[in-house]
Amino acid sequence: VQTAYPHPGVLGSRLWLARPNHALERMPFLRQHGRPIGYRYLTAQVQLSDVQTAYADEAGSAEMPSAGRPLTERLLTRLMMRGIVIAPLVLHTSVSSPDKHEPPVPEPYRVPTSTAQLVNATRARGGRVIAVGTTVVRALESVASPDGTVRGERGWTDLVIGPGRGVRVVDGLVSGLHEPEASHLLLLEAVAGCRPVKAAYDEAVAERYLWHEFGDSMLFLPARRDPGRRGTMR
The full DSSP string for 5-19 is: EE-TTSSTTSSEEEE
- Look over the chain and give the mean of its residue pLDDT values, rounded to a whole number: 81
Range in 8-17, 73-82, 157-166 the model is least confident about:
8-17
Could you tell me whether strands 90-91 and 107-111 are parallel, antiparallel, or unpaired per DSSP bridges? Answer: antiparallel
DSSP state of 174: E
Residues 103 and 40: their CA atoms lie apart, in Å, by 22
Quote the CA–CA distance of 217 and 184 in Å, as a whole number: 14
149 or 97: whose pLDDT is higher? 149
pLDDT of res. 165: 84
Look at domain 53-220 and name its CATH class: alpha beta
What is the pTM for the complete model shown? Answer: 0.80
More reliable by pLDDT, 107 or 19: 107
> Lowest-confidence range among 4-13, 73-82, 165-174, 185-194?
4-13
Domain boundaries, the chain: 53-220
Reported as a single tens digit per residue, the pLDDT across 40-94 is: 777 777 777 777 887 888 877 777 788 888 888 999 999 999 999 999 998 888 7
